[in-house]
């Protein structure tokens, strides 16, 4: 398995392109003891000021500041009083675009992930949702603003997913801009949510 980090230039491209190209890549998370790896199988794109469903729609705030950083950083936010969700920031600085990581297929470190999620949990429900994958990989507010070219959390080349295996749909859990089909996922992958 190739372990080369994706370069900054990967992220400084149109957001919908980055979203589709993230499918199949490996998210690597280093903890003090182990290395956790998950294949990205489901994402959603959020296009800043063009997109009423985006946190960045109304401009920069204290919460969404990281969305306006240069592509290749991690935007982590807290929601529903109990969950974290992780996004990959895309594009040049001050644009406010990001790609939400919605589901992973566990590749390495499943024991750690089970310990995080509770040992009762079924394997398939370990990382099949945006808040679940954060809990499994121990991602929280401390990771907000992390550089994906750094050493604690980054993305490497995984497998290339043919265009024919990539499906799209409306985004989940939002009420605005549902006409946009900006959710992308790998066809027939059992780790995709619901």
Partner DNA sequence: TAGTTGATCGTCT
Partner DNA sequence: GACGATCAACTAA
* Interacting residue ranges for DNA, rule: CB under 7 A: 44, 46, 53-56, 58, 61-64, 67, 75, 78-83, 85, 87, 98, 100, 117, 121, 125, 129-132, 171-175, 193
DSSP 147: B
Q: How far is the CB of 120 from DNA (least distance, A)?
A: 8
Q: How far is the CB of 149 from DNA (least distance, A)?
A: 21
Question: Which residue lies nearer to DNA by CB, 26 or 54?
Answer: 54
Q: How far is the CB of 64 from DNA (least distance, A)?
A: 6
Distance CA 166, CA 171 (A): 15
Question: Which residue lies nearer to DNA by CB, 157 or 173?
Answer: 173
Question: Which residue lies nearer to DNA by CB, 160 or 181?
Answer: 181
Alpha helices in the chain (DSSP H): 8-11, 15-22, 110-117, 130-136
DSSP 3-state of 19: helix
Inter-residue contact 26 to 155 (CB < 8 Å) = yes
**61: burial class by Cβ within 10 Å (0-12, 13-18, 19+)?**
exposed
Question: Which residue lies nearer to DNA by CB, 25 or 102?
Answer: 102
Alpha helices in 47-161 (DSSP H): 110-117, 130-136
Q: How far is the CB of 108 from DNA (least distance, A)?
A: 21
């Amino acid at each position: 398995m190739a372990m080369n980090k994706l370069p900054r230039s990967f992220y400084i491209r149109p957001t919908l392109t980055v979203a589709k190209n993230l499918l199949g890549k490996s998210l690597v998370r280093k903890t003090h003891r182990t290395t956790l790896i998950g294949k990205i199988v489901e994402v959603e794109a959020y296009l800043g000021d063009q997109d009423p469903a985006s946190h960045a729609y109304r401009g920069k705030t204290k919460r969404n500041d990281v969305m306006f950083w240069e592509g290749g950083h991690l935007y982590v936010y807290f929601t529903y009083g109990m969950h974290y969700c992780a996004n990959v920031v895309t594009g040049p600085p001050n644009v406010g675009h990001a790609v939400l990581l919605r589901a992973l297929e566990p590749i390495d470190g499943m024991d750690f992930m089970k310990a995080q999620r509770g040992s009762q949990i079924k394997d398939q429900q370990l990382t099949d949702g945006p808040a679940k994958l954060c809990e499994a990989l121990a991602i929280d507010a401390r990771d907000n603003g992390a550089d994906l070219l750094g050493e604690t959390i980054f993305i490497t080349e995984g497998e290339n997913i043919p265009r024919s295996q990539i499906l799209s749909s409306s985004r989940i859990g939002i009420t605005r801009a549902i006409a946009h089909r900006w959710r992308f996922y790998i066809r027939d992958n059992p780790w995709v949510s619901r």
